[in-house]
Amino acid sequence: DLRKELDVLLEEKIKSPRPVVWNDRGSKDCAVLSAIIDLITTQETPAGGPRRGSQ
């Protein structure tokens, strides 16, 4: 479950803060955050709602 993985990641970051190494696609940090970004950016916008990047 992605939400559970995010909770674990946030808990780890609070206990031991360090930046995410985005070049390391095999890292758990990168995998979880990339999955969340992909989910958000691929969701359809609600009918009548503004499209991302439009003004």
- pLDDT tens digits along 33-55: 999 999 999 986 666 566 666 65
Dihedral of CA atoms 36, 39, 45, 51 in degrees, nearest 10, equals: 70
Which residue segment(s) compose the domain that 22 sits in? Answer: 2-42
Q: Report the predicted TM-score, pTM, of the whole model to 2 decimal places.
A: 0.64
For the ranges 11-20, 26-35, 46-55, which has the lowest average pLDDT? 46-55
pLDDT of residue 21: 87
9 lies in a domain? yes
Tokens encoding 34? 């990339």
The answer to whether residue 14 is domain-embedded is yes
Q: Kindly indicate the confidence band of residue 6, based on its pLDDT and cuts at 50, 70 and 90.
A: very high
Question: How confident is the model at residue 1, as a pLDDT?
Answer: 86
Number of domains forming the structure of the chain: 1
Does the residue 51 lie in any domain? no
Question: Does residue 47 fall inside a structural domain?
Answer: no
